[in-house]
Amino acid sequence: MDSRGVPPGPYRATKLWNEVTTSFRAGMPLRKHRQHFKKYGNCFTAGEAVDWLYDLLRSNSNFGPEVTRQQTIQLLRKFLKNHVIEDIKGRWGSENLDDNNQLFRFPTTSPLKTLPRRHPELRKNSIENFSKDKDIFKLRNLSRRTPKKHGLHSSQENAEKVKCEIINEDQESSVNNREISQEDVEEVWRYIILIYLQTVLGVPSLEEVINPRQVIPQYIMYNMTNTSKHGVVLLQDKSEDLPHWVLSAMKCLANWPRSNDTNNPTYVGFERDVFRTIADYFLDLPQPLLTFEYYELFVNILGLLQPHLEKVAIDALQLCCLLLPPPNRRKLQLLMRMISRMSQNVDMPKLHDAMGTRSLMIHTFSRCVLCCAEEVDLDELLAARLVSFLMDHHQEILQVPSYLQTAVEKQLDYLRKGHIKIPGDGLIAPLPTYSYCKQISTKEFDEQKISVSQAAIAELLENIIKNKSLPLKEKRKKLKQFQKEYPLIYQTRFPTTESEAALFGDKPTIKQPMLILRKPKFRSLRY
C-alpha cells in the first residue's frame, strides 16, 4: 500500500479506510483450510489475517511502526462489523474476532465507503470564498526554476527570493501612513496562517479541511505572546488551567525519581497510581486536546509524516497547534513534555505488565489528543501515529514560530503605508510558500535541468537589458561579461550587431575589411 496514495483533502480518514480495505482484499493470501472435518476454499484464519494486516499497517507511514498487534485485531473486528470480511458461514456485524484459527472469507459486496456529500452551507461559507480572493496574493517562488525529482522547497529558507509586484517605487513617497484597526490586525493574522496552511499541505483549496471561521486570531496571538521562558502558554484565568493536583502528579512522573522526596509515599505501585490519576483526568475531558473541529486538518497532516517530509510535517503541526484555544495548547504542551520524558527515562519503574512505557503512553493518551466527534474506524491508529510523532518532536512543534510574527509585521507595515488593502479588498504582500514538485524520471530531469537553467539565464539577461536604473556604462560592462560567460544565449538574443546597437541607440559600426598584405619574400643571405 502506497503511503502517499491518499493525497491531502477532505474526508481523508474515509479515503484511508478505503485504501486499507482495498489493499487487504487484494493482498491477503487465500487458500484451502480444514475445520470440523470439512474443507473450505478461498479463506483465511484470523491469525493469518492479523499477521498480514499487522505488517501492512506498520510499513505504512500513515500508521507507522507504533501500531500494536492488539490494535490490528481491533481493526479486523471493525472489518467484520462493516462487512469487509465475514466468517466462513457468512455471518458478520455482531460476530467477534480473536487472534486464533477461526476461518473468515471475503464477501462479494464492495467494502468501500462512500464519501459524504459536501454540505451546501459549508461549501458556501468555506475557504473557497477565500481561495477566490487568493489571487490578490501575488506569489512567485524563484526556487521553482530549478527542477527537482521529488519533494518540496521550504519557503523559510528561500524567503529572501520571494518577490511581489506592489505599488511603483516612484509613488512610494506620496503614500501616507494610515491607521490600522484591531479588526485589520486580526484579519491579517487569519489570512496569513490560512495561506501557510494551504501551501504546506499542497492542496488547491482548504475547503472542508478547515473553515476560516474556525481560525480565531485572538487564540493565535495569545499563544504567540503569553508564554514562559520554556515556551509553555501561561493562562491569565487560572480556572482554565490543569488542577493543582494534576500538575503535581505530572511533575512527579516527569522528573522521576528526583521529584520523589520525603513528602511523597514510597509504597510499591505508587508510580502506577500516580499515572492512573493523570490518565483518568485526561480521559474524562469533554473533547480531545486538538478539538473535534480540527480533526480533518490534523488527519491531513498525517500524510506528511515521512522521512523526506519530516521538516514540512513539523512546520504544519507548528501552525495548526497555534489554532488551539490557549488552555488546550497548554495542556498539550505539558502532556507531551511528561510522556516524552517518561518514555526516555531508564529509571522509570514498569507501569504495565505487558507493555513498555512508550507504548503505554501512546495507547493511553492517543484518543485524548485526537479523535472525531463521530466514530471513525481508523481513529485509534491515526491518533497513535500522531501522538508518536508529537512525542519525538514536541519541542520544535510547540515552540513559537518567529517567522510567522515577522510575516505578519511585514504585512501590517505594507498596510500602514497603503501598499496593500485589507484581505479581500486589494493587494497584500507575498508570503513564503511551499512548492510541491511532481516526481519525474531521470531522463526528464536531465532534460529539464538544461532547459530550465537556460530559461533562467535568459531571464537574467532580460532583467539586465530592461533595468532602467542601471547606468549605461555598467550595463555595457554586465552585457560584455554575460556574452563571455554565455555566448550562445547572448547570440540568440542579439543575432546581429545592429540588434545590439539598437539597445544603446548607437549606430552600428561596420568594420572595414583588413587589407591583405603579401608577406615579402626574403632571399637567402647565403652566398
Q: How far apart are CA 87 and CA 43, in angstroms?
A: 9
For residue 344, is it within any domain?
no
81 and 39, same structural domain? yes
Q: What is the pTM of this model?
A: 0.69
Per-residue pLDDT at 147: 37
For residue 474, is it within any domain?
yes
For residue 407, is it within any domain?
yes
- What's the domain count of the chain? 3
Domain range for 471: 442-504
129 and 53, same structural domain? no
Per-residue pLDDT at 373: 86
18 and 96, same structural domain? yes
143 and 128, same structural domain? yes
Whether the CB-CB separation of 45 and 85 falls below 8 Å is answered with: no
Q: How far apart are CA 453 and CA 169, in angstroms?
A: 30
Q: What is the mean pLDDT of each run of 10 residues along the chain (527 residues)?
A: 64 89 93 90 95 93 87 93 92 90 91 66 44 37 34 42 40 60 92 89 79 92 93 94 95 83 68 94 96 92 83 92 97 96 92 91 94 83 93 94 90 78 44 50 67 77 81 84 84 81 64 53 55
Could you give phi then psi for residue 394, rounded to 5 degrees? -65, -30
For residue 514, is it within any domain?
no
From 411, 439, 467, the end of a domain falls on: 439
130 and 96, same structural domain? no
Closest-CA residue to 366 (of 338, 391, 394): 391
- In 368-437, the DSSP E strands lie at 435-436
From 79, 105, 131, the end of a domain falls on: 105
Whether the CB-CB separation of 18 and 112 falls below 8 Å is answered with: yes
What is the number of residues in the chain?
A: 527
What's 45's domain CATH number? 1.10.10.10
149 and 183, same structural domain? yes
From 105, 127, 152, the end of a domain falls on: 105
For residue 481, is it within any domain?
yes
200 and 168, same structural domain? yes
222 and 125, same structural domain? yes
Helices and strands: H and E segment counts in the chain: 19, 6
Helix (H) or strand (E) holding 86: strand 86-87
For residue 353, is it within any domain?
no
For residue 83, is it within any domain?
yes
218 and 123, same structural domain? yes
448 and 406, same structural domain? no
Per-residue pLDDT at 131: 41
123 and 182, same structural domain? yes
Per-residue pLDDT at 105: 95
Closest-CA residue to 465 (of 436, 511, 512, 499): 499
For residue 88, is it within any domain?
yes
Per-residue pLDDT at 427: 38
489 and 448, same structural domain? yes
Per-residue pLDDT at 318: 94
